[in-house]
Amino acid sequence: MLKRQALESDLEALVVVFTTAVHALAGGAYTAEQCHAWAPIPPDAEGWRSRLSGLKVMLACEGEQLAGFIGYARSGHVDLLFTAPPFARRGVATALFGAACADMRRAGAQRLSTEASLAARPFFERQGLTVVGEEEVLRQGVALRRFRMTGDLRLPDA
């Protein structure tokens, strides 16, 4: 699986992965109303352009297909992590997360934080992060529960 930095031309495929991941992979943890508020169909492409502009975005690709992506700040925050449903549970997010952590370490970050969805919490726990708080975020007026999680980047697994 190839990993590379995202280009402007990847935006459309990346938004498709986000939208399908939310509806197919997070759908067991959130209601249909919550999924539609989180990942509207059709998606807001312009909103995505500005959302990604401040982040480092790395893609995992298999051939021509986008298997997943991670968006993060090198200072130690993971904003986005989504795997395309056909590639779920094949180590895509683990590979992306590991590469992002290595990049954060190179930038001197020592702590890692994220706001994990109900669906992503087990993944981040597996990576060694722990829950430090619970919160509700509003998307289009609909509340979604999520967890604030942190980890130590000095440890090899986080």
Ligand X SMILES: CC(C)(COP(=O)(O)OP(=O)(O)OC[C@H]1O[C@@H](n2cnc3c(N)ncnc32)[C@H](O)[C@@H]1OP(=O)(O)O)[C@@H](O)C(=O)NCCC(=O)NCCS
- Residue 22 near ligand X by CB under 6 A: yes
Task: Specify the residue, 109 or 144, whose C-beta has the smaller distance to ligand X.
Answer: 144
> What's the distance, CA 109 to chain centroid?
19
Contact between 81 and 70 (Cβ < 8 Å): yes
Task: Specify the residue, 27 or 108, whose C-beta has the smaller distance to ligand X.
Answer: 27
- Residue 156 near ligand X by CB under 6 A: no
Task: Specify the residue, 20 or 111, whose C-beta has the smaller distance to ligand X.
Answer: 20
SS3 content of the chain, % helix, strand, coil (to 5): 35, 35, 30
In this structure, the number of other CB atoms found within 10 A of the CB of residue 55 comes to: 17
- Residue 72 near ligand X by CB under 6 A: no
Residue 63: exposure state from Cβ atoms within 10 A (0-12, 13-18, ≥19): exposed
Vertex 65 angle, CA 156 and 115, to 5°: 45
- Residue 117 near ligand X by CB under 6 A: yes
Total binding residues toward ligand X, as defined by CB under 6 A: 22
Q: How far lies 68's CA from each of 28, 80, 134, in Å?
A: 19, 10, 26
* In the complex, minimum distance from the CB of residue 33 to ligand X, in angstroms, rounded to a whole number: 16
Contacting ligand X within 76-95 (CB under 6 A): 81-83, 88-94
- Residue 126 near ligand X by CB under 6 A: yes
Chain residues binding ligand X by CB under 6 A are: 21-22, 25-26, 68, 81-83, 88-94, 116-117, 119-120, 122-123, 126
